[in-house]
Amino acid sequence: MSSLRKRTGAFVASFLAMFLGSAIIMAFASMLDTAEASGATGTARETLVTMANVVGGWGLLLVVFAVTSTLTLSVRQRAAEMALLKSVGATPAQLGRMIVGEAAGLAVAAALLGIVPGMLLGRALLGMLHDTDQVPADVGYTFGPIAVSMGIGITVVSAVGAALITARRTTRVRVTESLADAAVDTGGLSKKRIVFAVIFLLVAVQQAVITVTVMEGDSMAMATSGQADIFAAIGLSLLAPAIMRRVTALVAGPLRLLGGAAGGLAADTMSRRTSALASAVTPVILFVATAVGTLFLQSTENAALDAAGLAKTSEQKNIETLNFVVIGMVVLFTAIMLVNTLIAATAHRRREFGQTRLAGATPGQVLGGVAVESAVLTVTGVLVGTVASVFTIVPFGLARRDSATPDGSVWTYLAVVALAAVLTGATAYAATRKAVRVPAVEAALN
């Protein structure tokens, strides 16, 4: 029963990522169904296609990245199980088929369950376009084969691809190394991960340079600068294990010296859980980078129009709507993934919490240690996410206002930071509080 419970918990994060991802993909892809079925022309058709391609495309990139991240976390949490299977004779090919088969099954189930939410979300999206007069009210909503095929197909392909990547690393590790990974989750950076991180960061730099040099003084600079923060956030997220190792090494001493029992517990556990911390900090980075970058980009654009005494054109209104849809989508998706990842990671630590309490720590000290970890995660995610947002707001400010200082209120930034802190802290506290309610002996043995 304990093994089944652990396996079930390990699958939750991956399943929710696939479920939410498929619903988001279907919702935006349904704009293409709507454009075709309604026979929309002119500006209305262009708006629907743009919404599907631009916003849906970024949603796809975030979804694939989230599925890969959470699936890797779920498999890593089962390192001891993988080591046991290897020790009794399971071959790498058998383990690989098991991981890929589980991922494919989860993906199909998640995609099918995502059809109804995707339909509802797509209808709400078209309603927003009606309300803002970007699409005529007589254009009816259609949820058809494009949405379904893209939602199911992309979800399954991304899940299988992520499983193949994860399975390749898992099955190539020797039994002794698997057991060590199960005990100490330090996680390293593979060469491929570093290469992809560098590629994403170079693309972010390229978009920033194009914004400043080619798009100077043009509102179309939003098309290039708006992408830079997402590319940078993904690149930095790929480097999250290395970042968290450096952060842990930096704060461990002060935490042990000044943080009391809770600080000492946090320092010790953080040094053993780099990979889990990296998975938890990733949605914080994506959330902060995209929210801050897009909000301040739009504020700078509004300030540029006001300074020129110009009213917004229909196209500019469409772009503003797209920006806020991006923010809403990213906030919703990353917030849910942040909560989901933290719950999955914390629930997996119930045995660790039980052993810590048997060693003499009180439930309050365990909760305090997790609170310190959450604070470190939040600060790290906010700082890295802010760095990623600079790839958007500084080049766009230079292009539109000839100033590296973005327009917008500091309260906007503080609101984004506060939301990230509340989501991280409240989720970790609630999950830990539930875990420590289990008697220490029972938790330690399971």
Mind listing the pLDDT tens digit for each residue in 83-94? 667 677 777 777
Nearest alpha-carbon partner for 178 in 269, 270, 86, 100? 86
Side chain identity at 410, as an amino acid letter?
Answer: V
State pLDDT tens for residues 297-342.
889 888 888 887 777 777 677 777 776 776 677 677 777 777 777 7
State pLDDT tens for residues 222-272.
777 878 898 999 999 999 989 999 999 899 889 888 888 888 888 888 888
- Per the rule left: phi > 0, alpha: psi between -120 and 50, beta: everything else, 187 is left
- pLDDT band of residue 3 (cuts 50, 70, 90) is very low
Name the H helices within 88-184: 92-113, 115-131, 145-172, 175-183
Alpha-carbon distance of 227 to 294, in angstroms, equals: 9
Residue 340, token pair as written in the block: 């989901």
Alpha-carbon distance of 402 to 380, in angstroms, equals: 30
Quick check: helix, strand or coil at residue 143? Answer: coil
Alpha-carbon distance of 54 to 51, in angstroms, equals: 6
* DSSP state at residue 438: S
Nearest alpha-carbon partner for 370 in 444, 235, 276, 442? 276
Who's near 319: CB < 8 A, 6+ residues apart?
A: 219, 222
Kindly report whether the global pTM for this prediction surpasses the value 0.75: yes
Alpha-carbon distance of 310 to 178, in angstroms, equals: 63
Residue 415, token pair as written in the block: 């609101």
- pLDDT band of residue 145 (cuts 50, 70, 90) is very high
- Between residues 335 and 157, which one has the greater pLDDT? 157
